[in-house]
């Protein structure tokens, strides 16, 4: 078997193992390269009948290594022996998964290890001690409550004469006073005073409040032998408002109940026992009576401390009356004369501690009937 090779021949003829090599031979085992991944290129020796030809698919890595170490065959053959799939074989020899971005598992640090729900904001329960949050109006006497009739409303007596009566257990709006106890001559819980009489103009009112002769205190006008005018509230001498000094542009007045008619308009006013206040008023229209002007309405804009301003406009269709009045600020009905009897209307007044649109959120002592 011939063992010589010529590199000047460009056409290669291969014979079977039983045939004699008659021409220099160069093997191009391209199909083997597709099966042997670790090889980037192959330089085999001249083929023969010894079983090492390119048709043998069992070529091993050791045999190819020996072929690559032959320096005699490396000259002038690089362009032909370099496998076109060499780049693929090289990429396969180096496993791209050995160094991958997934080697560091982002889930190794679990963001849920710190559970924000470990601190439960409901662990401190304000009702844990008693099981119920004490509240006036729930029908149960708790804490500092004197009474609790199941609501936050001061009942209005249905009596048409004095002394006025109340249902048993009737309680003032803040659960601090039993209505039926006021007037028995004994200072019971929640009462500021109790002289046991029905005189609203002495030191203690029938509502068991101290008469300080200031804002919202009971009052009346003394016109001698004549009837005081229901429209001219400056008529007569005011009795009961001695502690009030009116601010600039306002006048001290005693507001009283009235059932009258002026300019074909009915006047219904509800001020049981009278009410001390300061006010300013003006009238606009063709037939405005002069006695409707009180103080300087346009320049009166601020009430004294402890009072709140109510500014209202009344349009009768003939005249328009603008009125500003300062009313006493309160916390509960116990601060107001809740038990005042109205002699004009022969029934209980409805003087209560309320919020009006003009004073919101401040509460004042007013009769909601006005």
In the three-class reduction of DSSP (H, G, I as helix; E, B as strand; rest coil), residue 262 is classed as strand
Cβ pair 367, 272 in contact under 8 A: yes
The pLDDT, as a whole number, for residue 47 is 40
pLDDT at residue 84, as a whole number: 40
Encode burial over 32-63: b for 16+ CB neighbours within 10 A, e otherwise: bbeebeebbbbbbbbbbeeebbbeeeebeeee
| CA-based R_g, the chain, Å | 55
Ranges of the chain whose pLDDT falls below 50: 1-133
- Residues listed for the chain: 370
pLDDT digits (tens, 9 = 90+) for 250-267: 999 999 999 987 767 788
Are 353 and 335 in contact by the 8 Å Cβ rule? The answer is yes
The whole-number pLDDT of residue 263 equals 64
Of 297, 298, 302, 244, residue with least CA distance to 274: 244
C-alpha dihedral sign at 349, 276, 314, 319:
positive
**Three-state secondary structure string covering 301-359:** CCCCCCEEEEEEEEECCCEEEEEEEEEEECCCHHHCCCCCEECCCCEECCEEEEECCCC
Give me 159's structure tokens: 């009596």
- pLDDT tens digit string along 313-336? 989 888 899 999 999 999 999 999
Helix (H, G, I), strand (E, B) or coil at 278: strand
SS3 content of the chain, % helix, strand, coil (to 5): 15, 20, 65
Q: What are phi and psi of 175, to 5 degrees?
A: 60, 30
The sign one gets for the Cα dihedral 270, 227, 220, 159 is negative
Q: Enter the pTM of the model.
A: 0.64
């Amino acid at each position: 078997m011939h063992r010589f090779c010529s590199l000047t021949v460009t056409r290669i003829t291969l014979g079977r193992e039983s045939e004699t090599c008659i021409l220099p031979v160069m093997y191009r085992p391209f199909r083997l390269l597709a099966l042997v991944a670790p090889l980037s290129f192959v330089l085999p020796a001249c083929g023969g009948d010894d079983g090492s030809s390119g048709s043998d698919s069992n070529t091993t890595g050791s045999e190819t290594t020996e072929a690559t170490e032959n320096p005699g065959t490396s000259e002038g053959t690089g362009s032909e022996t370099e496998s076109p799939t060499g780049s693929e074989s090289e990429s396969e020899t180096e496993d791209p998964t050995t160094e991958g971005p997934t080697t560091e598992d982002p889930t190794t640090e679990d963001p849920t290890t710190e559970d924000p729900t470990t601190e439960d904001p409901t662990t401190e329960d304000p009702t844990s001690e008693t099981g119920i949050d004490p509240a006036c109006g729930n029908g149960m006497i708790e804490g500092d409550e004197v009474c609790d009739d199941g609501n936050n409303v001061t009942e209005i007596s249905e009596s048409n004469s004095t002394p006025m009566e109340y249902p048993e257990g009737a309680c003032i709006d803040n659960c601090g006073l039993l209505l039926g106890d006021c007037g028995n001559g004994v200072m019971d819980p929640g009462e500021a005073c109790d002289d046991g009489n029905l005189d609203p103009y002495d030191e203690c009112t029938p509502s068991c409040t101290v008469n300080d002769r200031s804002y919202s205190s009971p009052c009346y006008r003394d016109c001698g032998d004549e009837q005081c005018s229901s429209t001219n509230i400056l008529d007569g001498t005011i009795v009961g408002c001695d502690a009030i000094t009116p601010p600039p542009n306002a006048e001290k007045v005693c507001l009283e109940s009235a059932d009258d008619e002026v300019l074909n308009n009915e006047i219904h006013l509800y001020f049981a026992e009278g009410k001390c206040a300061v006010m300013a008023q003006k009238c606009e229209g063709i037939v405005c009576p002069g006695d409707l002007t009180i103080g300087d309405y346009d320049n009166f804009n601020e009430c004294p401390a402890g009072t709140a301003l109510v500014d209202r406009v009344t349009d009768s269709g003939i005249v328009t009356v603008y009125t500003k009045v300062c009313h006493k600020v309160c916390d509960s009905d116990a601060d107001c004369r809740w038990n005042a009897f109205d002699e004009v209307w022969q029934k209980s007044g409805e003087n209560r501690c309320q919020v009006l649109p003009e004073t919101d959120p401040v509460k004042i002592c007013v009769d909601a009937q006005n």
